Structure 1
Amino acid sequence: MSDRTATAQAIHAQIEPFNKKGIDVTDATTFAGDLEWDSLTVMDFVAAIEDEFDIIITMNMQAEIETVGQLIDAVDKLKG
């Protein structure tokens, strides 16, 4: 299993409790549009991701991440 696949699986698991609409999550799924998350949900989710991977996602990075795929790539890069 590739690092990206493992990262994707872990992120999908973290999304699940926040996925109130039961959306089928793909790399193209958007947090604001598809999942309809508000800023508080995003902050809770980001904290969960940071804890899961022991990384820090800066506010600038958060502003650029719109899809699940972008988040997976960003986390992979931060894990180094």
Structure 2
Amino acid sequence: MTDRQPIFDTVAAQIAPFNKKGIELTDATSFATDLEWDSLTVMDFVAAIEDEFDIIITMNMQAEIETVGQLVDAVMKLQAA
């Protein structure tokens, strides 16, 4: 099994510029509830993650990803594909 900590750390670094409230990030951190992101912020962030990891996150996947942990798992899955 791949170690997910490096991916979590990279995701956290990508979140930092968008984390206006300075929320401490965990796997359970919600993009909508905890970080209070609007749809434009989400789109900008998804583009940054796709560029960073050289992956494509489909709209269907985006709709299912609500937390940082779910995003880390999705990135791991997409990189393994």
Q: How does the TM-score come out when normalised to structure 1? A: 0.96
Question: Partners in 2 of 1:3 and 1:49 — Cα distance?
Answer: 18
Q: Structure 1 residue runs of 4+, over 6 Å off?
A: none
Q: 1:49-68, aligned counterparts within 5 Å?
A: 49-68=49-68
Alignment RMSD (CA, Å): 0.7
Question: Partners in 2 of 1:5 and 1:37 — Cα distance?
Answer: 24
CA contact (8 A) 1:14 1:48 kept: yes
Q: Which consecutive residues of structure 1, in runs of 5 or more, have no partner in the other structure?
A: none
Identity of aligned residues (%): 77
Question: Partners in 2 of 1:3 and 1:57 — Cα distance?
Answer: 21
Question: Partners in 2 of 1:18 and 1:68 — Cα distance?
Answer: 13
Q: Which consecutive residues of structure 2, in runs of 5 or more, have no partner in the other structure?
A: none
